[in-house]
């Protein structure tokens, strides 16, 4: 019986860890996304983000209640006007409170994402733009168990952006192949749509003009073990010519998680971007 509990506990912890590294995977624009970021040729955007996630609803006898503190640093560099390189480094801290057995508390560095984005479509009009890009790359293992998949996991996808001064929308779809298998999780399909619109516009602070935007996102995730989540992310973006400060919260709308995965209660998000 003790052996069964140990095996179940280990499986549950590994499954939990992999799913909740998923936000570290680079995807499109908005609070939970990076891929629509487009610096100019030779330009660089750095984004640091802190995410605090609470999970519960353990389907196993372990009675897990978990918090995950995820800190990411993303660097986006424009090699040309149409080709961008993106890289994300995730640092994970987690606490798992167990009803059976010893609680788990650990930190580590999850797998690093490295992507290339090529813009194949651009249609500009006065004050408007429509852009489409394809994305390809991989998550590279850090071998920091249990936060690493220990495998090179390819990622492919696409991102579209429509922008005008009164609002803009970003849409992306990404597929990650998990070549590690086993405890490392399943292939993941995710799709995100983010809509942003100005609440207050163009007041001056020093040499910069600032605007306050509201953002609303829907984030969907599907794993090939049948797990599925639909999450809503409302938030605020304080935007200047070189800065964006972002605050938000991610809440579940629908969840159907395959055992032993936990369900998300909520995620709080704080993010800072700077372009130079």
Where along the sequence are the contacts to other proteins (CB under 8 A)? 38-43, 46, 48, 50, 52, 67-69, 71, 73, 78, 80-82, 89, 91, 93-95, 107, 122, 124-129, 163-165, 168, 207, 209-211, 239-244, 272, 274-276
CA 223 distance to own-chain centroid: 15
Residue 262, helix vs strand vs coil: coil
What residues does 130 pair with on adjacent strands? 123, 162
Q: Minimum distance between the CB of residue 177 and other proteins, rounded to whole angstroms?
A: 28
Q: Which is nearest to 51 in space by CA: 250, 264, 219?
A: 250
Output 89 or 189, the one with its CB closest to other proteins.
Answer: 89
Given the complex with other proteins, which of 240 and 258 has the nearer CB atom?
A: 240
DSSP state of 13: H
Closest distance of CB 145 from other proteins, Å:
16
Nearer to other proteins by Cβ, of 131 and 221: the residue is 131
Instruction: Return the number of the residue (130 or 218) whose C-beta is nearest other proteins.
Output: 130
Which position has the token pair 């952006």? 161
Please report how close the Cβ of residue 121 comes to other proteins at its closest, in angstroms.
12
CA–CA gap between residue 233 and residue 90 (Å, rounded): 20
Shortest gap between Cβ of 260 and other proteins (angstroms)?
21
CB of 11 to other proteins, least distance (A): 23
Instruction: Assess contact for 34 and 244: CB atoms under 8 A.
Output: no
Residue with Cβ nearer other proteins (6 or 128): 128
Q: What are phi and psi of 29, to 5 degrees?
A: -85, 180
Q: Which tokens go with 260?
A: 């032993």
């Amino acid at each position: 019986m003790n052996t069964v509990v140990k095996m179940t506990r280990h499986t549950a912890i590994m499954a939990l860890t992999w799913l909740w590294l998923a936000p570290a995977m680079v995807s499109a624009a908005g609070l939970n996304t990076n891929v629509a970021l487009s610096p100019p040729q030779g330009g660089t955007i750095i984004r640091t983000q802190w995410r605090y996630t609470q999970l519960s609803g353990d389907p196993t006898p372990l009675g897990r209640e978990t918090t995950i503190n995820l800190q990411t640093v993303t660097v986006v560099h424009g090699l040309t006007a149409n080709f961008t390189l993106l890289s994300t480094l995730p640092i994970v801290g987690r606490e798992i409170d167990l009803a059976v057995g010893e609680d788990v508390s650990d930190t580590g560095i999850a797998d690093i994402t490295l992507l290339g984005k090529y813009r194949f479509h651009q249609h500009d009009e006065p004050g408007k733009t429509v852009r489409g890009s394809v994305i390809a790359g991989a998550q590279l293992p850090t071998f920091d168990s249990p936060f690493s998949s220990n495998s090179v996991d390819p990622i492919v996808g696409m991102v579209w952006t429509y922008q005008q001064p009164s609002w803009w929308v970003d849409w992306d779809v990404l597929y990650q192949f998990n070549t590690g298998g086993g405890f490392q999780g399943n292939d993941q399909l995710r799709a995100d749509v983010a809509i942003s619109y100005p609440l207050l516009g163009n007041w001056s602070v020093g040499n910069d003009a600032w605007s306050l935007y509201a953002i609303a996102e829907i984030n969907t995730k599907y794993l090939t073990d049948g797990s599925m989540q639909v999450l809503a992310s409302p938030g605020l973006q304080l935007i200047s010519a070189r800065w964006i400060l972002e605050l938000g919260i991610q809440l579940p709308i629908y969840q159907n998680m395959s055992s032993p995965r936990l369900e998300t209660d909520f995620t709080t998000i704080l993010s800072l971007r700077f372009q130079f």
